[in-house]
Amino acid sequence: MFNTLLKFIGLSGLWILVISCTDEPTNPQIDYSDILKTETNEVIILTYNDLNEKASLLSSRINEFSANKTQAHLDLIRQLWRDARKPWEQAEGFLFGPVDLQGIDPSIDSWPVNVIDLDAVLASNDPLTKDYLDGLEGTLKGFHTLEYLLFGINGNKTIQEFTDRQIEYLTACAHSLQGETNKLFTSWINGPYPYGEILKTAGDSSNQVYLSQKSALQELLDGIITIADEVGNGKINDPFVRNNLTLEESRFSANSKQDFADNIRSIQNIYFGSLNTSFNEQSLAGIVKIKDAALHLKTSDQIQLAITSILSIPGTFTEAISANRAAIQNAQDQVRQLQFILESEIKPLFDKL
């Protein structure tokens, strides 16, 4: 097993990496490069491209809001917010690389919204521009600030409640979000060291990030384990166990169940190596199926069971916290069972590659 210390220092756009390796490299007779190419090209880059395109569309339609302040246009913008949210949540199974190293994640998805400071900015005379919002801390921009401004704290904000100042903030916030999604997408495909090439060429002598293909595969596996833990023991658990609605992410838009399900879909996408639930042999699932076909089937079934259990919670997640606790408990149990399989059965298999 690799003990890896990653320390990236930004210097002229380059990443400098310090790595300590205390174990054998990946079996040189097994080439996993096709799997790394599939996961990079068919899942990660396509997801980030979808996110960037939908964030761009959201931004352009919010641009039109001040001149078209109608309920129909507000409904459109709200749906475009949900549309852009979907690929972001489906990207949370691979929150490594630029999204982490360049600090992009907090600018896109910080929660909860800092309502007190947001109201202070709205009451100020500060110019509300993209550059200004770029300089604010994460809880004053990104998806959830947009959500709060679009839907209101109880999800029922009317068109008459929108002030010109709020629309200015919305516009700048949407521009800022799209700037971050563009940065994230391009960092995987462009520049002298695009991260997509770094992941795909793991184990090459020139690759200073992943000294072996095994370490890259472990990075992918660790990513889906992490989001399973976050959904089961954080996103579902915190508002449910503490019976505190303020801890429920995406509650303004009543989008919580969709968020949680899309997080599990991010696991499904990485595991299968595709965005349409189809099995690709060149994937993490392909490795598991060869090593242990029964484990592959169990994992596939548990992923789908976790998704179905989340979406089967009656009503909104907010309503279910008091009215359908058994359904939430079942969904949490299924997500935790998925995490258990990934950690206790699949991870040891990958450690032996």
What mean pLDDT do residues 242-253 have? Answer: 96
Handedness of CA 202, 208, 210, 212 (dihedral sign): positive
- Sorted by sequence, the CB contacts under 8 Å of residue 230 that are 6+ apart come out as 92, 263
Amino acid of residue 238? D
The reply to whether omega before 112 is within 30° of 0 (cis) is: yes
- pLDDT confidence bin for 62, thresholds 50/70/90: very high
> For residue 223, what pLDDT band results from cuts at 50, 70 and 90?
very high
pLDDT 10s digits, 104-133: 999 999 999 999 999 999 999 999 999 999
The 8-class DSSP code of residue 314 comes to S
| Nearest by Cα to 78 from 143, 168, 175 | 143
Angle at which helices 143-151 and 115-123 pack, to 10 degrees?
70
Q: How far is CA 287 from the centre of its chain?
A: 24
Distance of CA 327 to the CA centre of its chain: 24
Q: What is the pLDDT of residue 28?
A: 55
DSSP character string of 22-56 = -SPPP-TT---HHHHHHIIIIIIHHHHHHHHHHHH
Write out the two tokens for 111.
Answer: 């929660």
Residues of the chain with CATH 1.20.1420.20: 36-197, 206-351
In this prediction, residues 85-106 reach a mean pLDDT of 97
Which SS3 state, helix, strand or coil, does residue 272 take?
helix
Q: What does DSSP assign to residue 347?
A: H
Token duo for residue 157: 């904000």
Residues in the chain: 353
CATH code for residues 206-351 = 1.20.1420.20
Domain 36-197 top-level CATH class: mainly alpha
Q: Which region among 17-21, 23-27, 242-246 has the lowest average model confidence (pLDDT)?
A: 17-21
Reduced to 3 states (helix: H, G, I; strand: E, B; else coil), residue 197 is helix
Query: Cα separation of 30 and 180, whole Å?
Result: 37
What's the average model confidence in pLDDT over 36-45?
A: 98
Q: Write down the mean pLDDT value for the chain.
A: 93
Distance CA 181, CA 194 (A): 15
- Three-state secondary structure call for residue 10: strand
